[in-house]
Structure 1
Amino acid sequence: MATEIERKFLVHHDGWREGAVGVPYRQGYLLADGDRTIRVRVAGDRGYLTIKGPMQGISRSEYEYPIPLSDAEEMLSNLCQGFVVEKQRYRVEHAGHCWEVDEFHGQNQGLIVAEIELSDPDEVFAIPDWIGDEVSRDRRYGNAHLSFAPYSTWDSSLS
């Protein structure tokens, strides 16, 4: 079984931007029932279908498969529930780990989060100075949730 172990944080300043090159992402959800998701994604010029299981702390099963770009585009246009999530993803190296920084656009404009994938839930890692509060267990910051309840609709006192 493929397992994703991921921690997610808010980003509180632009210190990560120096030298970062982003890839545009668009993704939507064929299924998002709270525990499981089936996602279609276009990342740059590639298409993917991803199946994720229920969260177990910061871990969950994950299976990702490349699909033809034209199929991914058609699924995004015709089959997804909610809004298509649009973002630019940047990979930023810090102290031996790769951070993925997502700068959201469209309905989620203004939200920037950083994720780090780990090999073990207890893995120790250095936190860059541009990292803010951890939101790993806050479902509102999950992309599936953002496709149904976009950041732009949140009460500003809750974010």
Structure 2
Amino acid sequence: MDGNECDSGEAMSFEIERKFLVINAGWRDYIEAETRLIQGYLTASGPVTVRVRLDATQAYLTLKSATTGISRREFEYPIPFADAETLLRELAVLPLIEKTRYRVRHGRHLWDLDVFVGENAGLVLAELELEHVAETFERPAWLGAEVSADPRYFNSQLAQHPYCRWEQSEQS
């Protein structure tokens, strides 16, 4: 089994992700794709977070379990764009998360680099989804401290306590 199926053959969805601060712009030379994202949380605390995300043409509803180490269950479903806009406008925790996501290849891995704007401007995070918890990867020169276990950097938390409101001492 690959970790995404149980013995019954029933598909399960796991996300294994490591998250890091970005310390320089060296990654910009390796951009493969770029997407503007707006997302909001219908629930941002408790055992499950419920996120609505829009890009230029698609909308998704995502349910995520609490994080255990660097893994958690994640279920994502496409929803009508108009429904997503209504959910974000009427039901989401404010402020909404606004960012540009860049896909950047380093070694054999494709990284997601999120450059936040709006209430979280100034924050740049790199995320790497792994196949298994112990998977190794090449560490790029632009990668700073790991923040995978720091809940302040969870997008659901950034919606409730945006980066621009952090004290200077918290931003490291």
The answer to whether 1:63 aligns with 2:70 is no
Distance (Å, rounded) in 2 between the aligned partners of 1:44 and 1:96: 28
Alignment gaps of 5+ in structure 1: none
Q: Deviations over 1:60-112 (max 9, x none)?
A: 00000111111111111111013100000000011110100000000000000
Aligned 8 A contact 1:92 1:100 in 2 = yes
TM-score by length of structure 2 reads 0.90
CA shift at 1:19, angstroms? 4.6
Q: Deviations over 1:18-50 (max 9, x none)?
A: 252421100000111143200000022110000
The answer to whether 1:153 aligns with 2:153 is no
Aligned 8 A contact 1:37 1:51 in 2 = yes
> 1:9 aligned to 12, 17, 20, which one?
20
Alignment gaps of 5+ in structure 2: 1-11
> 1:112 aligned to 124, 148, 169, which one?
124
1:29-108 map, 5 Å: 29-108=41-120
Any idea what SS the aligned residue of 2:133 has? coil
> 1:18 aligned to 26, 29, 33, which one?
29
Identity between Structure 1 and Structure 2 (%): 48
Aligned residue pairs total 159
The answer to whether 1:128 aligns with 2:137 is no
Any idea what SS the aligned residue of 1:56 has? coil
TM-score by length of structure 1 reads 0.97
The amino acid of 2:87's aligned partner reads: M
Any idea what SS the aligned residue of 1:18 has? helix
> Which structure: larger Rg?
2
* C-alpha RMSD of the superposition: 0.9
Aligned 8 A contact 1:35 1:55 in 2 = no
Distance (Å, rounded) in 1 between the aligned partners of 2:151 and 2:113: 18
